[in-house]
Structure 1
Amino acid sequence: MRVLDILIPFAQTGRIGAVRIGAQLKDVIVELGPPWAEGSSVGAGGVPYLYAYGCLEVATCHARCQMIESIVVQTDWVTMEWPSRESGRAERFPGGPTYSEVLRALSEAGCSWGVYEPLTLGDQCAIRVPASGAIFVFTTEDVEEPVLCNVSVADHRPHSCG
Structure 2
Amino acid sequence: MKLLDVLTEFGANGGVPGVRPLGSLADAATVLGPPRGSGRIDDQLPWPQWFQFGDLWVEICHCGVINRASLPTWHEEVCIPAEQTGKFHTVPSGITFTRLSTAFSAVGIAWRRISEHPQHPQHRQFAMETVVAGLPDVTVHFTFTADDGRGDAEALLHGVHATEHTHLCPQTPRDDT
Answering whether residue 152 of structure 2 is matched by residue 140 of structure 1, we say: no
Q: Which amino acid aligns with 2:159?
A: N
Whether the 8 Å CA contact 1:2–1:94 is kept in 2: the answer is no
Question: How many Å apart are 1:142 and its aligned residue?
Answer: 2.2
Q: Deviations over 1:31-52 (max 9, x none)?
A: 1111112134358984661111
Structure 1 distance, partners of 2:82, 2:67, is 23
Q: Secondary structure at the match of 1:92?
A: strand
Q: Deviations over 1:115-149 (max 9, x none)?
A: 112xx213200011134521110012225221001
User: Partner residue of 1:124?
Assistant: 125
Can you give the 5+ residue segments of structure 2 that lack an aligned partner in the other structure? 119-123, 134-138, 173-177
Quick one: distance in 2 between partners of 1:147 and 1:158? 31
Q: Distance in 1 between matches of 2:132 and 2:41?
A: 31
Which stretches in structure 1 are left out of the alignment for 5+ residues? none
Report the TM-score when normalising by structure 2: 0.79
Partner of 1:21: 21
Q: Hey, what does 1:52 align to over in structure 2?
A: 52
The root-mean-square deviation of aligned C-alpha atoms, in Å, is 2.2
Q: Is 1:76 aligned with 2:74? A: yes
Q: Which amino acid aligns with 2:55?
A: C
**Letter matched to residue 53 of structure 2:** Y
Q: Which residue does 2:159 correspond to in 1?
A: 150
Q: Which amino acid aligns with 2:75?
A: W
Count of equivalent residues = 158
